[in-house]
């Protein structure tokens, strides 16, 4: 997902804070400013991340930032699903 430099820094700081507080035990963060998947402006990055947080409280939750390509594929695949507004009408009432 396209994110600004400030958003990426916030994600990294939140992850570091969770690690320092023993509140995250696994995750991955990938980011780049060189991709042909999405047009990036100055100080923008393509980010793909999944970081477990809240582990000190039990099962916890996760920070999930899907890659742009996955979002685009889900949008295309989902466009033909019932309820998406793209199904054809049979004319029956």
- Alpha-carbon distance of 41 to 51, in angstroms, equals 26
Question: Would you say residue 92 lies in a domain?
Answer: no
Nearest by Cα to 36 from 46, 48, 49: 46
Instruction: Let me know if residue 85 belongs to a domain.
Output: no
Q: How would you write the pLDDT of the chain (93 residues) with one tens digit per residue?
A: 999 999 999 999 999 999 999 999 999 999 999 888 888 999 999 999 999 999 888 889 999 999 987 665 666 666 554 454 444 333 443
Question: Is the residue at 82 inside a domain?
Answer: no
pLDDT of residue 86: 41
- CB of 23 closer than 8 Å to CB of 54: yes
* Residue 93 located in a structural domain: no
Number of structural domains in the chain: 1
Range of the domain at 28: 2-72
């Amino acid at each position: 997902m396209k994110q600004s430099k400030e958003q990426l820094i916030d994600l990294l700081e939140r992850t570091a804070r969770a690690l320092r507080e023993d509140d995250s035990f696994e995750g991955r963060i990938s980011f780049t400013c060189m991709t042909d998947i999405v047009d990036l402006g100055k100080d923008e990055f393509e980010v793909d991340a999944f970081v477990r947080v809240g582990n000190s409280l039990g099962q916890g939750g996760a920070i999930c930032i899907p890659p742009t390509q996955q979002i685009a594929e889900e949008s295309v695949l989902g466009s033909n699903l019932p309820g998406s507004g793209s199904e054809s009408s049979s004319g029956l009432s």
